[in-house]
Amino acid sequence: MMAEAKHKVVSLTGNYAIAEAMRQINPDVVAAYPITPQSAIVEKFSGFVNNGLVDTEMVRVESEHSAMSACVGASMAGIRTMTATCSAGLALMWEIVGVASGLRCPIVMPIANRAISAPINIHCDHSDSMGARDLGWIQIYNETAQEAYENVFLALRLAEHPKVQLPVMVCEDGFITSHCVQNVKIFDDAVMKKFIGTRKPEFALLDLKNPITVGAIELQDYYFETKRQQQEAMENVPAAYLEIGKELSKITGSDYGFFQEYKTNDADAIILTMSSATGTARSVVDKMRAKGKKVGLIKLRLFRPFPYEAVAKALEGKKIVGVLDRSMSFGAHSPLFGEIRNAVYGMKDKPALQSYVFGLGGRDLLESHVEQVFEELLAGKTNDEIKYLGLREVSQ
Amino acid sequence: MAAGKDAFEIRIHGRGGQGAKSASQLIVEAALDQGKQIQAFPEYGPERTGAPMKTYARISDKPITTYEPVLEPDTVLVIDPTLIGQVDVTGGMHKDSVLIVNTTETPEEMKKKLGFSGRVYTVDATGISIKLLGRNVPNTPMIGALMKITGVIDVKYVEQRVEDMFLKKIGREKTDANINAIKTAYDEVKG
Amino acid sequence: MTAEKYPTKAQLAKKCSWKEIPMGGVITRAASALDNKTGSWRAFRPVIEEAKCINCSFCVTNCPDNAVPFKDGKRGKIDLEYCKGCGICASVCPVKCIKMEEETKFKK
The CATH number assigned to the domain holding C95 equals 3.30.70.20
Domains of chain B: 7-188 (3.40.920.10)
- Nearest-CA distance C10 → chain A (Å): 16
- Burial of A360 from C-beta contacts in 10 A (0-12 / 13-18 / 19+): buried
Helices (H) and strands (E) in chain C, counts: 4, 4
pLDDT at B3: 65
Please give the CATH superfamily to which domain A7-252 belongs. Answer: Thiamin diphosphate (ThDP)-binding fold, Pyr/PP domains (3.40.50.970)
Q: Which CATH class is domain A259-389?
A: alpha beta
Residues C58 and C97 in one domain: yes
Question: At a CB cut-off of 8 Å and minimum separation 6, what does A223 contact?
Answer: C25
Inspect the interface and report whether the beta carbons of C26 and A214 lie closer than 8 Å.
yes
pLDDT tens across C50-107, in order?
Answer: 999 999 999 999 999 999 999 999 999 999 999 999 999 999 999 999 999 999 999 7
What's this model's pTM, rounded to 2 decimal places?
A: 0.94
**A–C: how many Cβ contacts below 8 A?**
52
Residues C14 and C29 in one domain: yes
pLDDT at C1: 42
Inspect the interface and report whether the beta carbons of A202 and C1 lie closer than 8 Å.
yes
pLDDT tens across A67-95, in order?
Answer: 999 999 999 999 999 999 999 999 999 99
Q: Domain range for residue C29?
A: 1-35
Dihedral Cα A100, A102, A108, A109, nearest 10 deg? 60
Return the ∠ at Cα C63 (arms to C60 and C64), rounded to 5°: 145
| ipTM of this predicted structure | 0.91
pLDDT at B11: 97
Residue B2 has pLDDT above 80, yes or no: no
Q: What average pLDDT score do residues A227-251 get?
A: 98
pLDDT tens across B88-102, in order?
Answer: 999 999 999 999 999
Euclidean distance between CA atoms A290 and A302, whole angstroms: 30
pLDDT at A276: 98
Residues C76 and C23 in one domain: no
Inspect the interface and report whether the beta carbons of A365 and B37 lie closer than 8 Å.
no
Euclidean distance between CA atoms B187 and B145, whole angstroms: 8
Between positions 18 and 47 of B, the ones with CB within 8 A of A are 24-25, 28-29, 32, 37-42, 44, 46-47
Residues C41 and C30 in one domain: no
How many domains does chain C contain in total?
A: 2
Residues C100 and C72 in one domain: yes
Residues C41 and C29 in one domain: no
Residue B20 has pLDDT above 80, yes or no: yes
Residues C30 and C53 in one domain: no
Residues C24 and C70 in one domain: no
- Nearest-CA distance B36 → chain A (Å): 9
Quickly state the pLDDT bin for A343 (edges 50, 70, 90).
very high
A40 lies within 8 A of chain B by CB: no
pLDDT at A3: 64
Inspect the interface and report whether the beta carbons of A182 and B38 lie closer than 8 Å.
yes
Q: pLDDT > 90: what percent of chain A? A: 98
Euclidean distance between CA atoms A335 and A300, whole angstroms: 13
Distances (CA, A) of C30 to A214, A355, B88, B130: 11, 53, 71, 73
Residues C59 and C80 in one domain: yes
pLDDT at A5: 87
Residue A324 has pLDDT above 60, yes or no: yes
Q: What average pLDDT score do residues A107-130 get?
A: 97
Q: Is residue A102 a contact partner of residue A61, using CB atoms and an 8 Å limit?
A: no
Taking contacts as CB-CB distances below 8 angstroms, the residues of chain B near A182 are 38-39, 64
pLDDT tens across A133-149, in order?
Answer: 999 999 999 999 999 99
Please name the amino acid found at residue A194.
K
Distances (CA, A) of B135 to B129, B178, B184: 6, 11, 16
Choosing among C1, C2, C4, C26, which should be mutated to test the A contact, i.e. which has the most A CBs within 10 A?
Answer: C26
Residues C68 and C25 in one domain: no
pLDDT at B82: 94
Q: Is residue A9 a contact partner of residue B32, using CB atoms and an 8 Å limit?
A: yes
Q: Nearest Cβ partner of B39 from A173, A182, A278? A: A182
Inspect the interface and report whether the beta carbons of A11 and B69 lie closer than 8 Å.
no
